[in-house]
Amino acid sequence: MLIDILNIPLEVLECTDFSTRQLQLSVLRLDMIHPVISGNKIFKLHYYLQTAAAKKHERIITFGGAYSNHLSATAYACKLAGLKCIGIVRGDATAALSHTLQFCIQQGMQLQFISRQQYAEKETAAFIENLMQQHGPCTVIPEGGYGVEGANGAALIHTFINPGIYTHICIAAGTATTTAGILNGCNTETVVCVPALKGMTDIEKRIANCTNGPVKSKQLQIFYDYHFGGYAKKTPELIGFMNDVWQQHRLPTDFVYTAKMMFAITDKIKQGYFAPGSNILCLHTGGLQGNLSLPKATLLY
Ligand SMILES: *Cc1c(COP(=O)(O)O)cnc(C)c1O
């Protein structure tokens, strides 16, 4: 690992709503590993960085939007690893760069802006070929670390999960790479996946693409209805929930991923989805830097 991870805080959320239903809800605070390469990103990058080292590539190329946690994590990781890196960004360079992109530049990432149309073709052989011609040999990391290497990296999160004690492990999904890795490494637990995007109906296919071998579909539960309007969309209800969770548990969540996942799980608890005796683990996958794009005073933290 690029940074030493000794132990990751595990917090049990106390709430009468949970105890009266004989449920335990805990949160694995992957967000506390590091302020930037926090959460799932450091894990997803692990094997891609190893590949770059093995192939003696000096440069990483990856992709993302203007608020991408993956871009900022990659920029920081490359700085630590002494690698050059290029971030291919969807959309035009606006006069005011997002906080995320400014951070990427500060870490030494070179940004290249491409149109949405070009971005849609970024993973075609022709596009990659062109990049290699421009920049020389380099390791290309798909958007969000999506792929077998990303999922294998995410599976390393199991090192920090007590085996055999949880009934459910809950994860917010963007590319579903983390979900794939956790599912692959699961023994008996059910993996609960909460997509942060609207209409993300290809999760099983995505997991299959990230998995060597069969997908454990029977151990997978997807809650589709908690995207709050779509990727990076939010409602006053979601923001209110985030502030409640902060006040009750001192747990900071990000509005793009972890707040939607926590909302889904607590809502499903209220609906009686989880049987008494369930021991639920939610992964706090980080992403708190994304809250900086919210207007000041939106959040209590
Ligand atoms: C990137 C990210 C995710 C999504 O992970 P995937 O592996 O792409 O599904 C979830 N939570 C946070 C906080 C993230 O930054």
The answer on 15 and 140 residing in a single domain is no
Confidence at residue 92, expressed as pLDDT on a 0 to 100 scale: 83
CA of 133 to the centre of ligand 1 (A): 31
Q: Does residue 170 surpass a pLDDT of 90?
A: yes
Distance 29 CA to ligand 1 centre (A): 14
Please check whether residues 121 and 205 belong to one and the same domain: no
Q: Is the CB of 286 under 6 A from ligand 1?
A: yes
Q: How many domains does the chain have?
A: 2
Does residue 2 sit within a domain? no
Element (H, E) at 191: strand 190-195
CATH number, residue 65:
3.40.50.1100
Please state whether the predicted TM-score (pTM) of the whole model is above 0.85. Answer: yes
One domain for residues 118 and 266? no
Model pLDDT, residue 194: 98
Tokens linked to 70: 């993956």
60 neighbors 82 (Cβ within 8 angstroms): no
102-137 pLDDT tens trace: 999 999 999 999 999 999 999 899 999 999 999 999
CB 35 within 8 A of CB 290: no
SS3 string, 99-118, reads HHHHHHHHCCCEEEEECHHH
Ligand 1 in reach of 175 Cβ (< 6 A)? yes
36 lines ligand 1 (CB under 6 A): no
Taking the CA of residue 44 as reference, the ligand 1 atom at the shortest distance is 7
87: in domain: yes
Q: Which two tokens stand for residue 34?
A: 């590091």
Which residue, among 299, 285, 292, has the nearest Cα to 97 in the 3D structure?
292
Q: For residue 27, is pLDDT > 80?
A: yes
Task: Single out the residue of 287, 44, 69 nearest to residue 154, CA to CA.
Answer: 44
Q: Please indicate, yes or no, whether residues 137 and 155 belong to a single structural domain of this protein.
A: no
Question: Can you tell me the distance from the alpha carbon of 58 to that of 55, in angstroms, rounded to the nearest whole number?
Answer: 9
Mean pLDDT (whole number) for 63-91: 95
Does residue 26 sit in the same domain as residue 158?
A: yes
Residue with tokens 């005011």: 96
CA dist 151 and 10 (Å) reads 22
Regarding the beta carbon of 253 and ligand 1, being less than 6 Å apart is answered no
Rg (CA), the chain: 19
The per-residue pLDDT for 182 is: 98
Q: Are 59 and 195 members of one domain?
A: no
Does residue 300 sit within a domain? no
Q: Name beta bridge partners: 166.
A: none
- pLDDT tens, position by position, 207-217: 999 999 899 99
79 and 174 fall within a common domain: no
Cβ–Cβ under 8 Å, residues 150 and 77: no
Report the share of the chain in percent with pLDDT over 70: 100
pLDDT for 138-159, tens place per residue?
Answer: 999 999 999 999 999 999 999 9
Comparing 179 with 93, which gets the higher pLDDT?
179
pLDDT score of 155:
98
Question: For the segment 31-58, what is each residue's pLDDT rounded down to a tens digit?
Answer: 999 888 889 999 999 999 999 999 999 9
Does residue 158 sit in the same domain as residue 139? no
Boundary-marking domain end, from 92, 127, 145 = 145
217 in the same domain as 106: no
Tell me whether residue 28 is in a domain.
yes
HSE toward the beta carbon, residue 51, CA cutoff 13 A: 18
Q: Is 289 in the pocket of ligand 1 (CB under 6 A)?
A: no
Q: What is the pLDDT of residues 262-282, one digit of tens each?
A: 999 999 999 999 999 999 999
Q: 94 falls in which pLDDT band (50, 70, 90)?
A: confident
Q: Do 26 and 90 reside in the same domain of the chain?
A: no
Same domain assignment for residues 75 and 195:
no
Q: Is the CB of 177 under 6 A from ligand 1?
A: yes
Q: Please give the residue range of the domain that contains residue 204.
A: 10-36+151-293
Does residue 51 belong to any structural domain of this protein?
A: yes
- Judged by average pLDDT, the poorest of 24-28, 32-36, 151-155, 297-301 is 32-36
pLDDT at 36: 80
Residues 265 and 180 grouped into a single domain:
yes
Please, are residues 187 and 163 in contact by the beta-carbon 8 Å criterion?
yes
**Where among 145, 171, 195 does a domain terminate?**
145
Residues in the chain: 301
**How far is residue 169's CA from residue 220's CA, in Å, rounded to a whole number?**
10
Strand partners, 110: 86
- Which of residues 83, 114, 145 is at a domain's end? 145
Assigned domain for 80 exists:
yes
Tell whether 301 is covered by a domain: no
Q: What pLDDT score was predicted for residue 285? A: 98
Looking at residue 28, its pLDDT comes to 98
Residue 101 has pLDDT above 90, yes or no: yes
pLDDT > 80? residue 95 = no
Asked if residue 269 belongs to a domain, the reply is yes
173-208 pLDDT tens trace: 999 999 999 999 999 999 999 999 999 999 999 999
Q: How confident is the model at residue 88 (pLDDT cuts 50, 70, 90)?
A: very high
For atom 15 of ligand 1, the residue with the nearest CA is: 287
